[in-house]
Structure 1
């Protein structure tokens, strides 16, 4: 009798990502009184009587020991204008609190300014659960504001105001830079511990200017190349355009060049983007490049070149 085959971890992560969540920063202080914090969307209310909530933290986190040993923690629900705060607390920055306004809460944990809500908690219970620990907090103090919260869905942020605008004005156009060098592609932190391409919404000056700004912000010299993929992300209301941009020099100021292999691309959180990168890896190997037209699930590829050029 054989056991069940292991679940596909990447597919499971994608499936979890279909649940729309808010974005929080969970904070505490270490044994020396230093503030600590990390970005998380694994937040849930548990009980009103007694007042309980929970978050989870990965065993691999550098903050794992401090949070599981602390007497309490705070959950800061980020408002729609705080994507930069989410990104700061998701990256390995030495002083995450140096660029944000914060104060000590009534129960002793750091509280961030301009959030939608905060909950300052004592630690009610810590439950070991696989590769994470579940921190159950008893709410000692809280406060809610009128600011709409920041959302997260399938590897990307969304906000109530942007969603309403997209419904009124049609699909939002987004540009990604596929900066490729010797079988590697430049990837950056997506703000939640995953990876993504350099990506931005198209400004009023158009897609070409937006692409030029994206490339310049990476610190890498790259030539704006041809359109590699055009697809409509129906779930997010995006029209997504990706440009293949060969790197010509320089080192990235943010992110790193990652080998285009299935294992290396496993942390790319957007399934459509990951599929596109896997196609690029295969096309780079054989020298046949095509443009993809379709949506995030299905489409067609039109041949662009055949054979490598010198």
Structure 2
């Protein structure tokens, strides 16, 4: 795809392949009212002098205030703060009523329970196409030691949940499977009376790499492994099952078929666990709010990972 034929959505999705942290940038307006917005376009710039940057869309309602302020703070959200991220990404009337915060040394709101925070004096505002780059000189900071909240390909991820998956699969026979998507449809294998997710056993090597290789060999399509979707023990077969979401490239699969998730008859699934995954995926796709399931084949808990895009 050349620069002349870029599809903006496709470009945005490609940018989203790079995992980032999630922050809330805060300041006060001319009347002293706190303002803030969720941003994942944040990075460190320099240690000497101590500089960082965050990007802001020129269409943002916060544009005039942010480009005119003398100070701002960057709150690096911890993995338990997905709700804070969502609150500050939406047009909520009083965002700050939903979060515990206090004024920092410069007067900018600093949140409690963040992974880290940085208070900054505005160093430079740089024009950058449809955005501006706010370069801040760090005047104070704090580091709690908490894990940061991750974001990639439109969804949140947390180190703790990933660690739990490894722990859950540390004993017994392990089967890895995938909810393999292509434009919202999912790949199922088997006949119409016994449909199943594509799966394989992995005894060594990097599980996600081995799973990706298996799926590519099975379908003949390029495959990108995404986030964890389900971790459960199935007492009927005595195995641990780890299911990932995955994305298939363009083309027709040489094995299996892609089905619209909302039109699959769960009674045609090979097992109750597969039927439950199909039902859950159809529901979560319809509302745009995905999670990670931990439990067994009959009961467990979904840890919600909202799939809202961060907005500036």
- TM-score, normalised with respect to structure 1: 0.57
1:238 aligns with 2:229: yes
Cα pair distance change 1:118/1:45, threshold 3 Å: same
Find the counterpart in structure 2 of residue 90 from structure 1. Answer: 89
Is there any run of 5+ residues in structure 1 with no aligned partner, and where? 176-195, 197-227, 241-269, 276-281, 294-310
Find the counterpart in structure 1 of residue 10 from structure 2. Answer: 11
Find the counterpart in structure 1 of residue 163 from structure 2. Answer: 164
> Retained in 2: the 8 A contact 1:23–1:40?
yes
Structure 1, residues 166-215: CA drift from partner, whole Å, max 9, x if none?
Answer: 2232599999xxxxxxxxxxxxxxxxxxxx9xxxxxxxxxxxxxxxxxxx
Find the counterpart in structure 1 of residue 139 from structure 2. Answer: 140
Could you tell me how far 1:155 is from its partner in structure 2?
0.9
Structure 1, residues 31-71: CA drift from partner, whole Å, max 9, x if none?
Answer: 11000000011000000111000001111111111101111
| Structure 2 CA distance for aligned equivalents of residues 234 and 73 of structure 1 | 37
Cα pair distance change 1:107/1:11, threshold 3 Å: same
Could you tell me how far 1:158 is from its partner in structure 2?
0.7
Find the counterpart in structure 1 of residue 294 from structure 2. Answer: none
- SS of the aligned residue for 2:133 comes to strand
Please give the root-mean-square deviation of Cα atoms over the aligned residues, in Å.
Answer: 3.6
Structure 1, residues 61-111: CA drift from partner, whole Å, max 9, x if none?
Answer: 111111011111100000111010001000000111011111111122110
| Structure 2 CA distance for aligned equivalents of residues 58 and 52 of structure 1 | 20
| Structure 2 CA distance for aligned equivalents of residues 13 and 46 of structure 1 | 23
Is there any run of 5+ residues in structure 2 with no aligned partner, and where? 170-174, 185-194, 200-223, 232-244, 251-258, 270-312
Could you tell me how far 1:290 is from its partner in structure 2?
5.7
> Retained in 2: the 8 A contact 1:24–1:76?
yes
Find the counterpart in structure 1 of residue 23 from structure 2. Answer: 24
| Structure 1 CA distance for aligned equivalents of residues 177 and 95 of structure 2 | 31
> Retained in 2: the 8 A contact 1:108–1:120?
no
Q: When the two structures are aligned, how many residues end up with a matched partner?
A: 201
| Structure 1 CA distance for aligned equivalents of residues 7 and 74 of structure 2 | 31
Find the counterpart in structure 2 of residue 55 from structure 1. Answer: 54
> Retained in 1: the 8 A contact 2:225–2:246?
no
Cα pair distance change 1:291/1:81, threshold 3 Å: same
| Structure 1 CA distance for aligned equivalents of residues 24 and 5 of structure 2 | 32
Which of 1 and 2 has higher RCO (CA within 8 Å, sep 6+)?
Answer: 2
Structure 1, residues 252-288: CA drift from partner, whole Å, max 9, x if none?
Answer: xxxxxxxxxxxxxxxxxx9959x9xxxxxx98xxxx9
Could you tell me how far 1:229 is from its partner in structure 2?
10
Could you tell me how far 1:6 is from its partner in structure 2?
3.4
1:73 aligns with 2:72: yes
